[in-house]
Structure 1
Amino acid sequence: MKRIGGLLVLLLALLLQAPEARAEEDWAGDWNGTLVTPRGALRLLLTIHRGADGALSAELESLDQAPGQKIPVAPIAIADGRLSFSIPAIRASYEGVWNAATQRFAGTFTQGMGMQLDFARGAGEARPTLTGLDGIWDAAIVRNGARLPFVLHVTTNAAGTIASLDSPALLAYGLPVTELRREGQVLSFAVPAGESHFRGTIAADRISGIWSRVGEADAETSFVRRANAAAAPRRPQLPRPPFPYRTEEVRIPNPHAPGVTLAGTLTLPQGRGPFAAAILITGSGPQDRDESLLGHRPFLVLADRLTRAGIAVLRFDDRGTAASTGDFAGATSADFATDANAAFAFLRARHEVDPHAIGFIGHSEGGMIGPIAARDNPDLAWLVLLAGPGASTRHLLDGQRRAVARSQGVTDAQLDASQPLQNLVLDAAASTDSAEAVTARLRAALAGLGLGEEQRARVIQQATDPWFRYFLRYDPAPNLARLRIPVLAINGSLDQQVIAADNLPGIRAALRDDPDATVRELPGLNHLFQHARTGAVGEYAEIEETMAPEALDLVASWINARFPRRAHPGRAAP
């Protein structure tokens, strides 16, 4: 749903200001704007060029998140006082209307949700230049015994000094930093997305001070500048060529979703086959075919292991992500299930693949999508669930919230105190009310709770997201109970996102009538199936291992035990 503020601005411009044409040659040049996002305000610079043939082209630069990185804009059009453009690289678009009174385009930037964005001529005001601060600064605070790391990135260029903050424990990166000021040796800044503020004293490569956050006690911490640029994290399991198998880039249209074409990679063992085949289904959020995260590429590692074991593997970018077309925003798990079945139909037509031995391997939400797709696919031969849900999604979310919060030092008393607010939001999102009704209901309910505007915007945006609302209403048990094909369901004992103790019993119960169901908990592994200390999400980047060998071996051996390679009819196996 589009952000209310952006929509009101656009409607106001349409009602009060008839579009006024300007000479075509006037549009070229720099245009600056501030994008209002739930994570904070971001300054953008749109540079429009006019070619010799009169055609327009443009680039967009995020001055706060990626200064100096210009993203191509194509196509761009300005006609009848309206500016519109798309940014294929980030699946975003903009629509704005010229207002002669304010001398700016007023409109909405859409990337998963609608956000207010106005463009005015010029490069905008440069931020102050703060000398001697450029670099990467590491810090941590301790809350109730839990260590929470932060990484502050500071860069100075022609636009001034710009900063952003990473919070690895929350998998939050590039959070906008505002109010960055230096007065003598005192530095201060704010992080609106976290409702946090820091003020400290600079001493060479250390800034020592107080970290403050709304609703929490102040914490002492020090930001220490790294001596050198951080080396790329070691990922020793990433496969490197030459490979003992064939690799083919493929494109797969989804006949049930106009405009969706999946771009993927098919890996085929040496020989003629036919081979058993696995289709990999990613977890939640827009992900590429390798399920890339923090330098890890779990699906690349898994595909390599399976293909070396004689199993063909198809992995693909989520719709609207990387090289796949379509719109990710607004799609639900049921929509993603049609993508999985389109991939199945593609493999079924390949002569190298055994049409009676094709299965799904779904990780996290992929372990929810797989059974949904299986419901509509009587030809599916098998199913592997990697940290798939087995409990109601309400129960899953509550368990996940508590596990992750505890790893960040939140007390049980604080969790209990926040439970009514969570119930209020989830009840509204899970209702059958319209998105507009949910928005109105939540605005009224949240008004007196003392939340900041950014927090309220994030809550409402998530509660009205079609994917989230479908997810909340979903019960995995009925689709799991229908299965009569071989199923392997595994979870790590340290998983804090899909907790094994909460989900494996539900899977086991739902599969009780399936004659070939294997449900196992793997000790010491987290949600990514890495060997972990605690399973906290903040450890994912620190762990060099991408996927535990015992998990890889279990999946490969389980498939091969049920679908051994067979020769083509009438041909000898090579």
Structure 2
Amino acid sequence: MITSVKMCVLGVAMLGGTESDDLTGRWVGAWMLPGGDSRDLVLSVESVGKGRFVGRVVSLAGGIQPQPLPSLSIAGDVVRFEPAVGDGRLQFRGKRSEDGQSLSGTVTGGALASPGVFHLDHRPMVRTMPDHIVYGVDIPVTEDDLVPLTVHLRRRDDGWLGEVDFPESGVLGYPVDVQGTNGVLMLSLPSLAAGDPVALTMQPGEPMVTGLWGRGQRVRVVELQRDRSTPTRRPQVPVAPYSWRERSVQVESTGEPTLSGVLAMPLGAGPFPLAVLLGEADTDRNGTIDEHPLLLVLTKALTDAGIATLRLDDGGTDFVARRRGLRRWMEWVAEQPDIDARYVAMIGHGQGGSIAARHAAAFDEGVAAVVLLSSPGLPGRIIESTRLRSLLVQSDVDAKMIDDVITAYEAYLDYAIKSVHVDALRESAKTWLDAQRSALGLSGTTSAQEVQSAVDRAQDSTWRFWLSYDPRATMPRVRGVPIFAMQGDQDATFDAGDNLKALVDSASSRGVSIEPRLLPGVNHLLQPVGASPSHSSKRIRMTIAPSTLRSLLEWIKPQLIRNPTTIRTGPDTQ
């Protein structure tokens, strides 16, 4: 499927000779080079008045990416355009037939020994026709990749007209064959990846319709939304009204701050198993990072599976305060009649995972399972030092100079952990920054502002705790509670492989049950990014890789939804 072509502005041409709006519309057909196969060709021409036309061209099978036509020239019945193909250009020159409904001509180019030919037939633009209908859908082209597709349809006496847009690829208004039987339509969609067309079957009419997309034995069910002409920015994020019931809840205790959260319940009668969801540091109840509400997406997946969720308004940065709050929440959960307190899991992302593990280590009776999502397995001091070393290596710094910088940096980190006097901290920070500036070949001296920034960071209590907290000391104490640890191999926050290994080694040293899962092509937010991530999290449409969600559900459901006689319970619930 088309995934990498960029959108372009339209080219503009002036009409020479007799002005005629008959040129406007789609010109659909094929082109062929000597000895080659026939390839698709779509030319779009729109009139902008006063003899001015704008055009675009695309040939999916022929390597002509969607592009404007600044070279578009129209003189009477003769049309010329020169699309870019690779590093060169091809020249198309054609003439309209007497009835104006077809356009045929030759294809030439600097590298061609002899000319090719092309032929196009005229058809109207569906999107400009009155009473046409529009449906939007996200096509699952791979396990973790949804490509937005817009379908434009218009019914006529002799059948249906159709065209599709792949907005992310710049393919707009691509004509497709539509076959209709008893109101059910089958559209033949273009595909670059496999060559052969892919079928989309649907029955238009309702605001939401269910369709089938795919080829052969690989067919997926898709949901098409009427009048959705632009892609959904966050296709996985649920919108109200939700497919679950939820209510705001609070925990009040004398002398303690009031805790707030949201309890989401599956439809139907309880009591239900529960997953307490803990977000990364400094996030809201939905675990939102870069406009992605990770915990809200998890809530939909879990409630659809029959598991209630509790999302907490505790997304500060104070690790200890969040731990204390979680203990109070767990006491509250045990008293809820619509929650089966024997089947309570904790699912934490980042710092939330560390808090879940720490709680389970101290109070295992009320916890049936723990899931760690992108949670560190090493102390922050080691992670920070490793990250800086990696950056220096990428900058081609000499090995000896790297060692000198890291030695100075680790001394600064140790001073931060120990909360030494500010003067000693300032001197240590300057020593590190001077060494780093020298290693990178930067001119000038370290500014007082740079030093003060390092001092301020080292005095932040949350960062100091991150540096000193060692998950390897917690994991062996999570006795009798199964753990599922998931890390994306494209995590830019820390080395996923090293941290996952540290979690496994420390847990296994005392026989703690832990199942690790290194997720290929997934980042810290658990989004699909492929082998070479190039976009920020905010630019990625997917909130959680579907394969990651599926793995989580496959693991958590047997822990929470099973015969009560087989689940691990505390002494008061056996």
What is the TM-score normalised by the length of structure 2?
A: 0.51
> Does the 8 A contact of 2:272 with 2:308 survive in 1?
yes
Are 1:362 and 2:348 matched, yes or no?
yes
- Counterpart of 1:317 (choices 291, 294, 313) is 313
> Aligned partners of 2:346, 2:485: CA distance in 1, in Å?
12
Alignment-derived partner of residue 369 in structure 2: 382
Structural mapping, 1:22-421, within 5 Å: 234-253=233-252, 258=255, 260-284=257-281, 286-318=282-314, 331=318, 333-379=319-365, 380-402=367-389, 410-413=395-398, 418-421=405-408
- Counterpart of 1:532 (choices 506, 529, 532) is 529
> Does the 8 A contact of 1:274 with 1:565 survive in 2?
no
> Does the 8 A contact of 1:496 with 1:536 survive in 2?
no
The letter for the 2-side match of 1:340 is L
1:236 is displaced (CA, Å) by: 1.1
The letter for the 1-side match of 2:251 is I
1:437 is displaced (CA, Å) by: 6.2
Q: Provide closer, same or farther for how the CA distance between residues 248 and 287 of structure 1 changes in structure 2, counting only shifts above 3 A.
A: same
> Aligned partners of 1:252, 1:316: CA distance in 2, in Å?
11
Q: Provide closer, same or farther for how the CA distance between residues 394 and 448 of structure 1 changes in structure 2, counting only shifts above 3 A.
A: closer
1:262 is displaced (CA, Å) by: 2.7
> Does the 8 A contact of 1:338 with 1:373 survive in 2?
no
> Aligned partners of 2:472, 2:373: CA distance in 1, in Å?
16
1:523 is displaced (CA, Å) by: 1.0
> Aligned partners of 2:466, 2:541: CA distance in 1, in Å?
32
> Does the 8 A contact of 2:273 with 2:339 survive in 1?
yes
> Aligned partners of 1:254, 1:451: CA distance in 2, in Å?
50
The letter for the 1-side match of 2:464 is R
Q: Secondary structure at the match of 1:315?
A: strand
> Aligned partners of 2:426, 2:252: CA distance in 1, in Å?
38
Alignment-derived partner of residue 124 in structure 1: none
> Does the 8 A contact of 1:367 with 1:384 survive in 2?
yes
Q: Secondary structure at the match of 2:462?
A: helix
1:455 is displaced (CA, Å) by: 1.9
Are 1:494 and 2:490 matched, yes or no?
yes
1:511 is displaced (CA, Å) by: 1.9
> Aligned partners of 1:558, 1:448: CA distance in 2, in Å?
49
> Does the 8 A contact of 2:478 with 2:512 survive in 1?
no
The letter for the 2-side match of 1:343 is W
Q: C-alpha deviations, 1:224-278, integer Å up to 9, x for none?
A: xxxxxxx9981111112332211111223477xx553332211011223222211
> Aligned partners of 2:449, 2:345: CA distance in 1, in Å?
43
1:334 is displaced (CA, Å) by: 2.6
Alignment-derived partner of residue 473 in structure 1: 468
> Does the 8 A contact of 2:343 with 2:368 survive in 1?
yes
Structural mapping, 1:442-453, within 5 Å: 442=428, 445=431, 450-453=445-448
> Aligned partners of 2:239, 2:283: CA distance in 1, in Å?
21
> Does the 8 A contact of 1:494 with 1:527 survive in 2?
yes
- Counterpart of 2:552 (choices 547, 551, 555) is 555
Q: Secondary structure at the match of 2:358?
A: helix
1:548 is displaced (CA, Å) by: 0.7
The letter for the 2-side match of 1:552 is L
Q: Provide closer, same or farther for how the CA distance between residues 463 and 536 of structure 1 changes in structure 2, counting only shifts above 3 A.
A: farther
Q: Provide closer, same or farther for how the CA distance between residues 353 and 498 of structure 1 changes in structure 2, counting only shifts above 3 A.
A: farther
Alignment-derived partner of residue 458 in structure 1: 453
The letter for the 2-side match of 1:399 is T
> Does the 8 A contact of 1:279 with 1:340 survive in 2?
no
How many percent of aligned residue pairs carry the same amino acid?
27
Higher RCO (CA < 8 A, seq sep 6+): 1
Q: Provide closer, same or farther for how the CA distance between residues 444 and 563 of structure 1 changes in structure 2, counting only shifts above 3 A.
A: closer
Q: Provide closer, same or farther for how the CA distance between residues 468 and 273 of structure 1 changes in structure 2, counting only shifts above 3 A.
A: same
Q: Secondary structure at the match of 1:271?
A: coil
> Aligned partners of 1:339, 1:308: CA distance in 2, in Å?
27
1:401 is displaced (CA, Å) by: 3.9
- Aligned-pair RMSD on alpha carbons? 3.0
> Does the 8 A contact of 1:292 with 1:298 survive in 2?
yes
The letter for the 2-side match of 1:522 is L
The letter for the 1-side match of 2:233 is R
> Does the 8 A contact of 1:439 with 1:464 survive in 2?
no
1:528 is displaced (CA, Å) by: 0.8
Q: Provide closer, same or farther for how the CA distance between residues 416 and 311 of structure 1 changes in structure 2, counting only shifts above 3 A.
A: same
Q: Secondary structure at the match of 1:423?
A: helix
> Does the 8 A contact of 1:371 with 1:480 survive in 2?
yes
The letter for the 2-side match of 1:358 is V
The letter for the 1-side match of 2:471 is P
> Aligned partners of 1:280, 1:402: CA distance in 2, in Å?
34
1:535 is displaced (CA, Å) by: 6.5
1:297 is displaced (CA, Å) by: 1.0
> Does the 8 A contact of 1:361 with 1:386 survive in 2?
yes
Q: Secondary structure at the match of 2:241?
A: coil
Rg (Cα) greater in structure: 2
> Does the 8 A contact of 1:524 with 1:533 survive in 2?
yes
> Aligned partners of 2:555, 2:370: CA distance in 1, in Å?
11
> Aligned partners of 1:340, 1:252: CA distance in 2, in Å?
11
> Aligned partners of 1:270, 1:404: CA distance in 2, in Å?
49
> Aligned partners of 1:545, 1:535: CA distance in 2, in Å?
16
Unaligned residue ranges in structure 1 (runs of 5+) = 1-230, 322-327, 569-574
1:460 is displaced (CA, Å) by: 0.7
> Aligned partners of 1:415, 1:536: CA distance in 2, in Å?
26
Are 1:546 and 2:539 matched, yes or no?
no
1:418 is displaced (CA, Å) by: 3.8
1:492 is displaced (CA, Å) by: 0.7
